[in-house]
Amino acid sequence: MKILIALALIGIVGALASAGAFMLRRRQPPPGEGAAAAPDRQMARALAVRVAISVGLFLIVLLGWALGWVRPGGLPTGG
C-alpha cells in the first residue's frame, strides 16, 4: 500500500511539473486574438491527469481504511 501511495504521489508531482513546463513554454497568441485565446491543451490535459490521480489516490486510501489496510495512527505525543 505504501508503494502504491508513493507512486501516486510521484505521478501527481510529475503531472504538475509537466503542466508547469507546458505553461512556461506556451507561445504568445498571434496579434489580434488578444489574451482570450484557448488554453494550451497539453497543459490542461496534464492538470486533468493530476486531478484524476489525486482523486484516485484519495479513493484508494479511503478503500484501504475501510478494509483495514490503513490504520489511523495520529501524531506521536512524546509522552
- Provide the residue ranges of all domains of the chain, joining segments of one domain with +: 2-25+43-67
Q: Mind listing the pLDDT tens digit for each residue in 31-41?
A: 665 554 445 68
More confident: 62 or 23: 62
Q: What percent of the chain has pLDDT over 70?
A: 81
| pTM exceeding 0.85 | no
Q: How far, CA to CA in Å, does 21 sit from each of 9, 36, 61, 70, 71?
A: 18, 21, 29, 35, 37
More confident of the two residues 34 and 21: 21
Mean pLDDT of the chain: 82
| Predicted pLDDT at 44 | 85
Q: In whole angstroms, what is the distance from residue 45 CA to residue 64 CA?
A: 28
For residues 14-42, one letter each, b for 16 or more C-beta atoms within 10 angstroms of the residue's C-beta and e for the rest, the string is ebbebbeebeeeeeeeeeeeeeeeeeeee
At 2 the pLDDT is 84
